[in-house]
Amino acid sequence: MLQGWDNASIAAAMFDIREEFHLQSMLQIESLVVAIGIIGAMIITTFIGSLADTFGMRKMLIVSSIIYFLALISTVMISSIYMLMFMRLMTGFGIRLAMTIVPLYISEISPPSKRGL
């Protein structure tokens, strides 16, 4: 759900972003701004399992929330297109961590009699 909201909100904001950062003739940069959140999600996916095993799922869930929150708050204060792309990358990290860790954590804390229902 977060990924869908993130993609829809950035697509709606692209008109204002294009004007703010003078991107009228830079279609590749615009495309990268939209896609970099998904790229961040793909990058972090390769490390989620080992991170969860090393630090624990609860800690990783907290970390994902902090990353996502800080990236969203920082996005409001950016002054360059490159900073926006970096914050979108971090948003992708936070979203993918949460999307992967939450179901695993729920199955871990559920009583064995309720698992798989």
Whole-model pTM: value is 0.86
- Is residue 8 one of the residues assigned to a domain? no
**Which of 41, 93, 39, 101 lies closest to 70 in space, CA to CA?**
93
Would you say 105 and 52 are in contact if contact means Cβ atoms under 8 Å apart? no
- Is residue 10 one of the residues assigned to a domain? no
Query: Residue 36: enclosing H or E segment and its boundaries?
Result: helix 27-45
pLDDT digits (tens, 9 = 90+) for 29-65: 888 998 999 999 999 999 999 999 999 999 999 999 9
How many folded domains does the chain comprise? 1
- Is residue 1 one of the residues assigned to a domain? no
Can you give the residue range of the structural domain that contains 78?
32-101
Integer Cα distance of 38 and 92 in angstroms? 6
- Is residue 46 one of the residues assigned to a domain? yes
- Is residue 21 one of the residues assigned to a domain? no
The confidence score (pLDDT) of residue 117 equals 67
- Is residue 108 one of the residues assigned to a domain? no
What is the CA 100 to chain-centroid distance, rounded? 12
- Is residue 47 one of the residues assigned to a domain? yes
pLDDT digits (tens, 9 = 90+) for 57-85: 999 999 999 999 999 999 889 999 999 99
What string of DSSP letters covers 70-90? HHHHHHHT--SHHHHHHHHHH
- Is residue 39 one of the residues assigned to a domain? yes
Integer Cα distance of 72 and 68 in angstroms? 6
